[in-house]
A and B are shown apart, each in its own frame.
Chain A
Amino acid sequence: MNVLQRTLERRFLRGTRWLEQRLGAAKGIKWLLSYVFPDHWSFLLGEIALYAFIVLVGTGTFLALYYIPGDSQVIYHGPYALLQGEQMSEAYRSVVDLSFSVPAGLLFRQAHHWAADVFVAAIVLHLCRIFFTGAYRKPRDVNYFIGLTMLMLAILEGFAGYSLIDDLLSGMGLAIAYGVALSLPGIGAQLGYLVWGGPFPGSSSFLPRLEIVHVFLIPGTLAVLITLHLVMIMRQHHSQFPGPGRRERNVVGTPLWPAYALRSIGLLLAVAGVLFLLGGLVQINPIWQWGPFHPYLSENGAQPDWYIGWLIGALRLMPNWEPAIGNYTLIPNPFWGGAAFPLFVFIVMFAWPAIERRFTRDHLRHDLLDRPRDRPTRTAIGAAFLSWVMIIFAVGSTDRLFFRLHISYTAQIHFWRAGVWVLPILIFFITRSACRSLRRTDTHPMRAWQGTVVRRGPDGSITRLGDSADRTQSRPSEEPVGTVPAESER
């Protein structure tokens, strides 16, 4: 072990010297390696998304080698019996072939699809962490905007990805997207015609366009934004939770080398492992069962991937309201659920830092995070807004609920048309009072304990050190490790 360590160290020094003599990079490397990451598990949520993106790029490159974005109709003569002699587009055939004829093709395709689902999920969870701890406040609001932009792009990227296949599900999804595009007031028809290159299902150039968007434009933009995101984090340093030795202008935690780098590499391997395990063990989007898409076909219960589900829910929930002058419809109904709703959600999220500054009159720089309970109103607003979106999302699966539990579909829709407004208000008050109570009692909601801490001496005597009521006082303050001196102290 020691020999190995010494060898590694020597190698490392030699490598640094090599770089220093050519690029003068030693100082930068030193700064990078001693960069301090604060200790909290929730700071790894964004990293899960980052590593899912790496898996997506890796698997996606493999898939792109076999995918053909062609809409010319061909007859299938492959190994899958049920599609024998079936007429289908070249694109669909290439993905069926990828699944059944290319070695490990199905594994890569499924891992890619699972990675996409987990990627967006991890971003959403990361966003929740950022919101509820107030990490978006000045100076990190710029990075928060970049993160929101990446979330939008990730959703668009996912939709473009599963629309490429031209199976029954993706075709129906594109038909709905086309309907939403047409519903945009004023510009809808022209926009739809422009993007699809003609009326639905579009011209032969549509799939190649979609492919370029999916494999080049959006991933490239995402890569640039991710780099910006990370550079900006390092430039501003991580925010951290308050704690012993933690102040606004320092960071207490673990340096990049050796501790944090290994931890992060471990997470990368875990992400890749979980995604490929899912890809190998759990079937996702079995396109051979859905069959090819033709505009005259449809199936019951067609659903989008989960990150588009909130739009389907909104389309279902929105009452049939179409303002019209005479025979001219000003705003077709799909506009509300399919375009106005997501636009509103993102506008609120983009505007939130400014809204909060306006109401709290807090224009200061913040490097220490808030515990959610310490900002009851913000936490309550966040919980209410999140529940509002989640209810609309859940309404997207009312048909399956009806099928399983026989709760009348129209009754569900009618109920949620009221509930979608009432329940978030209820959640607002519940959350706010829960936060206030937690702040007052300072118990951990899950780790609350009651009892007495005692120490038994060598002679068998028992000394009382503290109990649950003064737990915070009795906790030994830990030595700060890896403290970065504040910039003013340097």
Chain B
Amino acid sequence: MRRWLTRRSRIPAVLRLTLAVILAAGAVAVLAAPSSEGQTSSGAGVPGGPPAGVNAPSKSPEPPAPGDPVKTFPDSPALRAQGYTLYQAGCSSCHGIALQGTPGVAPSLRGVGAGPVDFYLSTGRMPLEQPREEPQRAPALYTRGQIDALIAYVASFGGPPAPTADPAKGNLALGLHEFTLHCAGCHQVVARGGLTVNVPVPDLLAATPQQVAEAVRMGPYVMPHFGTRQIDQHDLDSIARYVLWTRHPVNAGGWAIYNLGPIPEGIVAWFMGLAALVIVARLIGERLA
């Protein structure tokens, strides 16, 4: 073995050539990837980034229907003043000093209301390190009190009230039905996340009912937004209840292997089932001298 490692190979030239080819091919492939997306992202996107203008959408949040419950956040002049300070320090560089937004970078926050602010800040998606990267769930940077202050400040510029969902009023079976109909196409049917056009879709294991309601009504990032005619309040409550359920779904069959289906199943079949049997065959297959 040692001799094999140190021995000068008889075909190093071929090996080196092949290695060079694979590296070149890899480089070409990696370089080719962003250029093919450049057509849709007007040359401004990062590699693997979303289609154009996703970070600067003008999707206005769908307002709750009359009579639907809304989420009220604390509001006072002092809170707005604190929010103003926080906003100027943490948000204004992209969203503008007067919430007017920056074309091609960040949307205007005038008239978005409380829901999107609560969603983006409480899930840690904002503030972004880089203006163009996809907002991903992270530990929230602001405390609850600071978030409330920012909500109070931004909501003072107008906008619909924040939606809310009460899982206790929801129906689990309806939740599965509505989730499969509207959400599973991207979020996977047990909310384990997935892939759309080069954008990872988050799993919903950490999503709270309030965040689910806000996301459904405003459609963060590439997600579509749903009005009350598509998903009414009862559906919303049920979806929130179902999302909570997916944290601990009924795994009657035993170890759930991530509720993902065939990929982990194949890994278990090969590397636990067949591997165990090959070990058995190895042990009993030969007369041990």
Contact = CB atoms under 8 A, between A and B. Distances in A.
Pair from one complex: yes
Interface of A: 39-45, 47-48, 80-86, 99-100, 106, 110, 113-114, 117-118, 121-122, 125, 168-169, 254, 263, 266-267, 270-271, 274-275, 278, 280-286, 288-291, 297-306, 309, 397, 399-400, 402-403, 406-411, 414-419, 422-423, 425-426, 429-430, 433-434, 436-438, 441, 443, 445, 448, 478, 481
Contact of A448 (B1, B200, B274): B1
A481 B286 CA distance: 13
B256 A81 contact: no
A429 B270 contact: no
Given A41-B286, A42-B285, A86-B173, A282 B257 contact: yes
Given A41-B285, A297-B180, A430-B15, A309 B266 contact: yes
A267 B280 contact: yes
Given A288-B250, A410-B33, A411-B48, A300 B185 contact: yes
B252 interface: yes
B97 interface: no
A234 B276 CA distance: 28
Nearest 5 interchain pairs by C-beta:
A41-B285, A306-B266, A300-B194, A408-B48, A283-B253
Given A289-B189, A410-B33, A441-B3, A399 B255 contact: no
Contact of B284 (A83, A267, A415): A267
Given A169-B261, A275-B273, A290-B189, A270 B173 contact: no
Contact of B30 (A298, A300, A411): A411
B273 A114 contact: yes
B172 A82 contact: yes
Contacts of B26: 415, 418-419
Nearest to B134: A406
Contacts of B19: 426
B38 to A, nearest CB: 12
A299 B195 CA distance: 11
Contact of A422 (B18, B252, B266, B268): B18
Nearest to A478: B289
Contacts of B177: 86, 291
A39 B284 CA distance: 10
Given A278-B273, A281-B255, A48 B281 contact: yes
Nearest to B48: A408
A265 to B, nearest CB: 10
A229 B201 CA distance: 49
B42 interface: no
Interface string B8-35: 0111001100110110011011101100
Contacts of A290: 189, 261
A86 B238 CA distance: 14
22 contacts: A41-B281, A42-B281, A45-B278, A82-B250, A86-B176, A86-B177, A106-B253, A168-B184, A168-B189, A274-B276, A297-B181, A302-B261, A400-B263, A403-B201, A410-B36, A410-B198, A415-B25, A419-B26, A419-B29, A426-B19, A436-B10, A441-B1
A436 to B, nearest CB: 8
B55 interface: no
Interface residues of B, number: 82
Given A45-B281, A82-B172, A286 B260 contact: no
B184 A121 contact: no
Interface of B: 1, 3-4, 7, 9-11, 14-15, 18-19, 21-22, 25-26, 28-30, 32-33, 36-37, 47-48, 172-173, 175-177, 180-181, 184-190, 192-196, 198, 200-201, 242, 245, 249-257, 259-263, 265-266, 268-270, 272-274, 276-278, 280-287, 289
A300 B263 contact: no
B262 A39 contact: no
Chain B contact residues: over half helix, strand or loop, or mixed? helix
Contacts of A42: 281, 285
B241 to A, nearest CB: 10
B275 to A, nearest CB: 10
B4 A291 contact: no
Given A45-B281, A291-B180, A300-B201, A433 B262 contact: no
A415 B30 contact: yes
B4 A438 contact: yes
Contact of A303 (B186, B262, B272, B282): B262
Given A41-B285, A429-B11, A430-B15, A422 B194 contact: no
Interface centre among A39, A300, A400, A436 (most CB of B within 10 A): A300
A299 B186 CA distance: 7
Nearest to A411: B33
